[in-house]
Copies of this chain bind each other. A is one copy, B any other.
Amino acid sequence: MEARTKAEVLRRLRSVAGHVEGIARMVEEDAYCIDIIRQIQAVQRALAKVNDLVLAQHLRACVTTAIRGEDPEERERVLEEIVEVFEAAQKI
């Protein structure tokens, strides 16, 4: 992963981990359920943003290399993976 993207992804993942621990504290302290759901939804959105960054990186690196390469099976593999994560994204 390109250095700047890597740093940004790591920064966001650490923020998410801290956020999740904060939500656990809310649960322990019997916070209002809707506030807990709102915070979890904020974490889900933050994770979606990380996925966007990682996919963009992947497309410009591995996918471009594979598609410009001479191995049709490798090409097909990377394209199927994109459809797979797109399909999963539509189900989350």
Contacts and interface: CB of A to CB of B under 8 A. Distances in A.
A82 B79 CA distance: 11
Contact of A44 (B6, B33, B47): B47
**Highest count of chain B CB atoms <10 Å: which of A24, A33, A86:** A33
Interface in A32-55: 32-34, 36-38, 40-41, 43-45, 47-48, 50-52, 54-55
Mostly, the A contact residues are: helix
Which of A9, A30, A51, A87 gathers the greatest number of chain B CB atoms within 10 Å? A51
B47 A33 contact: no
A15 B90 CA distance: 20
A38 B51 CA distance: 9
In the A-B complex, the 6 residue pairs with the smallest Cβ-Cβ separation, listed nearest first, are A33-B58, A48-B90, A67-B67, A17-B20, A89-B89, A13-B24
Contacts of A44: 44, 47-48, 92
